[in-house]
């Protein structure tokens, strides 16, 4: 079956512009996660959606970052007024229910010039 | 807060040999999960192996096995009969087993090179 998909694969933007990154989870997966992988760093958690519960936003680095998940499926991560330090690979993952394996997408590489 | 430490930024191994990647973690929880993920240049994170903290038996998946030392908070990955396709970044990760967010906490990774 289809895995987690993310678009675009690569995004180059200018400092100060807004960007939207999309994640399509595996069908039927109730949990969805966003992580950020910066050069030389591990992966850091950004935000987590589980069903209809309020999302866990504890990993968002600033109020320029936001995410939504429509209809319990597709999710969009929005970064407003991008900064050069936002350059990273943004990874999305989904899982079918609690305490289960997270399946990752191929990521979006964001470059802020 | 939980932390995961991978002390080896890079490792190399000869094809067909065995290599061990180190990982330590810090938590006050008694029940949790530990994972090793592989990330090839394609960026796709692939689960290699997982371990439930309540299980004393070390997990094994074909050529991959772990040495889980709960008291020492150590979780190393052993790759036997290394193959060229094993070359990748390897990340150790931790997750609480219940309550709160299901987020993964990752180490900074170990880059594994396999020499022919």
Q: Which residues pair with B96 in a beta bridge?
A: B32
Coil/strand/helix, residue A71? helix
Contact A45 B101 (CB under 8 A): yes
Average pLDDT, chain B: 93
* Cα–Cα–Cα angle for B35, B38, B44, rounded to 5 degrees: 115
Kindly state the average pLDDT of the residues A22-40.
92
List residues of chain A with CB under 8 Å from any CB of chain B.
Answer: 31, 33, 35, 40-45, 48, 50, 56, 58-59, 89, 91, 93, 95, 98-99, 101-102, 104-107, 109
Signed CA dihedral, B81, B85, B91, B96: sign only: negative
Contact B101 A106 (CB under 8 A): no
What are the chain A neighbours of B43 within 8 Å (beta carbons)? 89, 91, 106-107, 109
Model confidence pLDDT, tens digit, residues B47-102: 999 999 999 899 999 999 999 999 999 999 999 999 999 999 999 999 988 765 57
**Does position B1 have pLDDT exceeding 70, yes or no?**
yes
Query: In chain B, which residues have their Cβ closer than 8 Å to the Cβ of A44?
Result: 106
Q: Do A107 and B43 touch (CB under 8 A)?
A: yes
């Amino acid at each position: 079956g289809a895995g987690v998909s993310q678009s675009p694969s690569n995004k180059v933007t200018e400092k100060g512009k807004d960007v939207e990154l999309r994640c399509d989870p595996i069908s039927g997966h109730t949990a969805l996660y966003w992580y950020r992988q910066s050069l030389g760093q591990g992966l850091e958690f950004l935000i987590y959606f589980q069903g209809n519960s309020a999302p866990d936003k504890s990993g968002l680095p600033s109020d320029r970052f936001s995410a939504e998940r429509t209809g319990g499926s597709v999710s969009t991560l929005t970064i407003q007024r991008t900064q050069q330090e936002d350059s990273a690979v943004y990874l999305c993952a989904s899982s079918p229910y609690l305490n289960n394996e997270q399946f990752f997408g191929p990521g979006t590489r964001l470059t802020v010039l | 807060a939980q932390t995961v430490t991978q002390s080896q930024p890079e490792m190399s191994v000869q094809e067909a040999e065995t290599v061990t990647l180190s990982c330590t973690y810090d938590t006050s929880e008694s029940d949790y999960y530990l994972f090793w993920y592989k990330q090839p240049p394609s960026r796709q994170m692939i689960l290699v192996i997982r371990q439930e903290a309540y299980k004393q038996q070390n997990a094994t998946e074909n050529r991959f096995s772990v040495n889980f030392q709960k008291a020492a908070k150590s979780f190393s990955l052993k790759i036997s009969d290394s193959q060229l396709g094993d070359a990748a970044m390897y990340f150790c990760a931790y997750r609480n087993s219940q309550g709160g967010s299901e987020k993964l906490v990752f180490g900074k990774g170990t880059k594994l090179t396999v020499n022919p």
